[in-house]
Amino acid sequence: MRPCFALIAVLAGCVLLAERALADDQIEFLSGARVQGKVTHIDRTQKIVTFDARIGGREIRREYPYNKIHAVTYNGQRYVLNKKESTPKPLPRSTDQSGPDATSPQPPRSVKALIEEAGKTPPDWYDDTPLEYPPTLDLSWPAKPQGAWNNQKNVGQYMWDIVNPNPDRWRRGVKLVHHLLAMHQNDAKKRQRAMQTLGGMYFNLFQDYARAAYWWQQAGVDANHNAGFALGECYWRLGDRQAAVAFLVDPDRPRPNNSLRVGMIKLWGDMGETDKAVKVAEWYVRVGGEPHMAFLFAGDALRLAGRYQESLNYYQKVINAPDGKNKKNSDREKSRARASLEAVRLFDLSDVSRVADGSYQAESIGYSGPVVVEVVVQSRQIKSVRVVRHVEKQFYAALTDVPDQIIAKQGVKGVDATSRATMTAEAILNATAKALAQGAN
């Protein structure tokens, strides 16, 4: 009799366990996470699963759309709602490095494939980014908006005034353009405009060269287009140098194949072809182009290559050049040249690769007293920049941002102190330069 009871007890236990196993549903999300709980409702029209997630003994009722879910285990049965890619998406995202070097050339075929694949999938933040725009915005997106400038009504002006200045809005901006593209997919002109805008946004805002290239390709951008050399830059950044060169003017070839644009100088410089950059610049000016931007880029290219003396000459040429058609622009370029000239002269010494390892302190005068900065150089890299003593007002921006910038840029060159308009920032920069100069001697 007794074993019989035991058997019944065991069986009952099994049933209970099975019951329990049945009671626990599970959702596996596309993000890779899974959570247990109970599916309480399935809305097949809205494609929404209502789920009581069980977390640490609590139950939290949430609704999840199908498109977030990989699979659901429901009443013991597993349903796959969305297939998961077996390999993570190749996401050629922001590349702060100065581009791939010649040692790791990617075969052009794979670059093409990369562009194709990336362009056809949305960026990984796409789904989490809300579609948000002012209700007053005119989504019909006429080519020439009527009336006065109105950044709450006209899409282009909204992008220009509100989206572009704010990194926080860039993703929403891209989403809006994708939305416009889908809306106007049957209007060839607007479709082309949207795709070209997307190319520009992925290129300028996200440095997402694959998607930029894809959308520019789709928009039919070729070598003679305004954005042509930028598409070339995309190819170069992605590793296809040959394709990039096809979009440029090569000064060493007898016949220029493309129309000359000032941005090409910068690209040649960035690609390491300093001499070509300088030649193109000279050429550009010879055929009647404005010298300011051209020589500024030439100077930058030389500076990038470490040819400081020559770069000083070109910066000086920018400063000496007469004003251009647009005085405002040429003034701006002159002041940039002046700043670069100053930076090369002042901070050439503080090139971190010449600074011996160690910790250096130096001070400079800030707004209300001395600012002491401690710079730690380790294995030829600036490891930390710390304001160790100051009597400044709070100025968080300067006290944290400037050291961060110095570390990011590994030097005081190019750290934007003037726009901050505080003496504190300049004091930190100068003190850092002084400190580094100690180690360079």
| Minimum distance, C-beta of residue 114 to other proteins, in the bound complex (Å) | 16
| Minimum distance, C-beta of residue 119 to other proteins, in the bound complex (Å) | 8
Residue 382: closest CA among 414, 415, 349, 404: 404
**Residue number with CB closer to other proteins (75 or 381):** 75
Q: In what order do the strands lie in the sheet with 358-365?
A: 358-365, 370-378, 381-389
CA 79, CA 117: separation in Å to the nearest integer? 28
User: Hey, which residues between 6 and 65 contact other proteins (CB under 8 A)?
Assistant: 24, 27, 29-37, 39, 41-42, 44-45, 47, 49, 53-58, 60, 62, 64
> Judged by CB under 8 A, does residue 168 bind other proteins?
yes
| Minimum distance, C-beta of residue 205 to other proteins, in the bound complex (Å) | 13
Q: Are strands 25-29 and 34-43 parallel, antiparallel or unpaired?
A: antiparallel
Could you say which of 369, 378, 381, 408 contacts other proteins (CB under 8 A)?
Answer: 369
- Of 174-182, 249-257, 298-306, 314-322, the segment contacting other proteins by CB under 8 A is 174-182
**Residue number with CB closer to other proteins (313 or 378):** 378
| Minimum distance, C-beta of residue 272 to other proteins, in the bound complex (Å) | 28
Residue 359: closest CA among 333, 384, 390: 384
> Judged by CB under 8 A, does residue 339 bind other proteins?
no
Could you say which of 20, 109, 144, 325 contacts other proteins (CB under 8 A)?
Answer: 144
**Residue number with CB closer to other proteins (165 or 322):** 165
**Residue number with CB closer to other proteins (63 or 342):** 63
**Side chain identity at residue 184, one-letter code:** H
| Minimum distance, C-beta of residue 323 to other proteins, in the bound complex (Å) | 16
Could you say which of 190, 191, 211, 279 contacts other proteins (CB under 8 A)?
Answer: 191
Cα separations in angstroms, 440 against 304, 358, 359, 366: 20, 11, 12, 24
Residue 293: closest CA among 269, 270, 315, 260: 315
Which residue spans within 93-181 are E strands per DSSP? none
> Judged by CB under 8 A, does residue 384 bind other proteins?
yes
Residues in the chain: 441
Continuous segment of H or E residues that includes residue 192: helix 188-204
| Minimum distance, C-beta of residue 74 to other proteins, in the bound complex (Å) | 6
SS3 331: helix
| Minimum distance, C-beta of residue 308 to other proteins, in the bound complex (Å) | 28
| Minimum distance, C-beta of residue 36 to other proteins, in the bound complex (Å) | 4
> Judged by CB under 8 A, does residue 68 bind other proteins?
yes
> Judged by CB under 8 A, does residue 82 bind other proteins?
yes
Cα separations in angstroms, 124 against 93, 127, 211, 353: 10, 7, 12, 37
Interface mask toward other proteins for 213-252; x: CB under 8 A: -----x----------------------------------
CA 390, CA 381: separation in Å to the nearest integer? 25
**Residue number with CB closer to other proteins (313 or 368):** 368
> Judged by CB under 8 A, does residue 75 bind other proteins?
yes
Cβ neighbours of 14 (radius 10 Å): 10
- Of 99-107, 265-273, 349-357, 387-395, the segment contacting other proteins by CB under 8 A is 387-395
**Side chain identity at residue 277, one-letter code:** A
CA 171, CA 223: separation in Å to the nearest integer? 28
Could you say which of 94, 121, 136, 257 contacts other proteins (CB under 8 A)?
Answer: 121
> Judged by CB under 8 A, does residue 169 bind other proteins?
yes
Cβ neighbours of 6 (radius 10 Å): 9
**Residue number with CB closer to other proteins (35 or 319):** 35
Could you say which of 99, 112, 162, 324 contacts other proteins (CB under 8 A)?
Answer: 162
> Judged by CB under 8 A, does residue 3 bind other proteins?
no
SS3 154: coil
| Minimum distance, C-beta of residue 340 to other proteins, in the bound complex (Å) | 18
SS3 144: coil
Token pair of 278 as six digits: 């300088």
CA 427, CA 419: separation in Å to the nearest integer? 14
The DSSP result for 196-213, as a single string, is HHHHHHHHHTT--HHHHH
Could you say which of 367, 409, 438, 440 contacts other proteins (CB under 8 A)?
Answer: 367
Side-chain-facing half-sphere of 357: CA atoms under 13 Å: 3
- Of 145-153, 222-230, 290-298, 427-435, the segment contacting other proteins by CB under 8 A is 145-153
